[in-house]
Amino acid sequence: MGKMSVNLCGIELDNPVIPASGTFGFGYEFAEIYDINILGTFSFKGTTKEARFGNDLPRIAECTQGMINAVGLQNPGVEKVISEELPKLKKCFHKPVMANVSGFSVEEYAHVCSRLDGEEQIGWFEVNVSCPNVHGGGMSFGTQPSAVAQVVSAVRKATKKPIIIKLSPNVTDIVSIAKACEDNGADAVSLVNTLLGMRIDLKKRKPVIANVMGGFSGPAIFPVALRMVYQVSKAVNIPVVGMGGVSSAEDVIEMMLAGATAVEVGTANLVDPEACKKIIEALPQKMEELGIDDLKSIIGGAC
């Protein structure tokens, strides 16, 4: 069987498959369905300083080959994550986990990372500067190089653990933003978060989602995500984590050929809770079919 391990910011992963934040809870929920230790790692629910209920209902709208969500960073707050969520996770997941961090100010990003920094289970911080579903934070930090630079610099001072900056596709030039991340101390970038979209109810003649707009995800966005991963991986010298519409072993390999060191799977988990397990199980056969002996060897192979 071919080698599936990859190295992400100095931490070895058994395979490159990572459930994306917001689609995998805090992990222990999925541990009731299968042994989640099969995963490379996973990115847990986006965490803020204070607890958040999230946006008003309805929050979900179906689309052709995808969905729109506007959950709004619902989470119990960093202190509850430390005291309640991580101890539950420790019982069922025995690998380093990725902490997804969100904020409404530079100071909040730094504070949350500082509070989580001492948690042994956390291997990486995935700093979300690209959430399109909240007002006054999230994506507003990720649309200008100067703004993202402030967040990266502040978080870099708050932790010595690897920092992965999660980027938005809702920009004109994602390469300049990725370079700003690299220049200010990021260890990697992950992309893409959801595209901004909306649906209208024809009978009610108003937006389906209470928030009006939300994050569009699913297989429909894969070509856009792949293009951006390709562009960014050619422009920076730090690892790229690819995501956006990934739902198969073939998609994982395609993302890695575009330059991704590891690959996150999002919406597919909401369609099939065993999606990541099935992708990991399918990878060896697909590697054999394509003559791949070691996944590391194909990273950036199409660049």
9 is catalytic: no
Alpha helices in 236-274 (DSSP H): 249-257, 267-271
Please, what is the angle between helix 222-235 and helix 249-257, to 10°? 30
Residues 132, 42, 246: CA angle, nearest 5 degrees = 65
| Alpha carbon separation from 191 to 175, 237, 245 (Å, rounded) | 11, 15, 11
Q: How far is CA 164 from the centre of its chain?
A: 9
Which amino acid appears at position 81 of this protein?
V
CA separation for the pair 279, 179 (Å, rounded): 31
- Which residue in 183, 156, 181, 41 sits closest to 99, CA to CA? 41
Alpha helices in 117-166 (DSSP H): 145-158
From the candidates 9, 63, 113, 131, give the one annotated as an active-site residue. Answer: 131
- According to DSSP, the residues that pair with 47 across neighbouring strands are 101
Taking residue 280's Cβ as centre, other Cβ atoms within 10 Å add up to: 20
CA separation for the pair 26, 78 (Å, rounded): 13
CA separation for the pair 215, 182 (Å, rounded): 25
The residues annotated as belonging to the active site are: 131
